[in-house]
Structure 1
């Protein structure tokens, strides 16, 4: 199991044990993390699962693929470490990952 910490816009922390192969978005939805709407269900067809990857994790998480970059154009307040959580696959290397939920989704 891989531990992920979600920090909500109000500062609330949600620590989740996630199965490898799942996505950061799926685990947020399963654990009712506020602010992760995931309207498209993880199809990379909206920007309502937008998160900010903590800078110390950015290299391990990696850069968005072109399709994700296109969807991020619709996200609220995009930052250099913005990602769609539906596109981050949980794996051992991400144990301890910290992501922040934006103030609002697109």
Structure 2
């Protein structure tokens, strides 16, 4: 399975992701710029903020209350399909998912 991250400059990076792995861990392993995962996926930071491509957003599930609160304090402006990538786990339904790394103004 794989995921693709689109960077603010339009560059794309595609990486293999194991089933069950969260997309923050996959991004850190693939050296995706600006996806840091400082808290290790414990929902205490927003350094893995991504914007799920519209065509994939419905498949990633709903934002929980803690994730929702953390997205409000993310460095980059929150978008309608913003998610913390630590809260998205790879599955067969997400094979090929596209995530945008937001820019900071």
Does TM-score exceed 0.5, indicating one fold? yes
The alpha-carbon deviation at position 3 of structure 1 amounts to 1.1
| Structure 1: gaps spanning 5 or more residues | none
Partner of 2:8: 9
Partner of 2:27: 28
The alpha-carbon deviation at position 9 of structure 1 amounts to 1.3
Is 1:86 aligned with 2:86? yes
Partner of 1:60: 59
Using the TM superposition, name which of 25-34 and 35-44 deviates more. 35-44
Secondary structure of the residue aligned to 1:43 is: coil
The alpha-carbon deviation at position 62 of structure 1 amounts to 1.6
Secondary structure of the residue aligned to 2:98 is: strand
Tell me the TM-score normalized by structure 2: 0.94
| Structure 2: gaps spanning 5 or more residues | none
The alpha-carbon deviation at position 41 of structure 1 amounts to 1.3
Write the distance in 1 (CA, Å) between the matches of 2:15 and 2:43: 22
The alpha-carbon deviation at position 54 of structure 1 amounts to 0.2
Tell me the TM-score normalized by structure 1: 0.94
Write the distance in 2 (CA, Å) between the matches of 1:38 and 1:74: 15
Secondary structure of the residue aligned to 1:60 is: helix
Using the TM superposition, name which of 8-17 and 48-57 deviates more. 8-17
Secondary structure of the residue aligned to 1:10 is: coil
Runs of 4+ with deviation above 6 angstroms? none
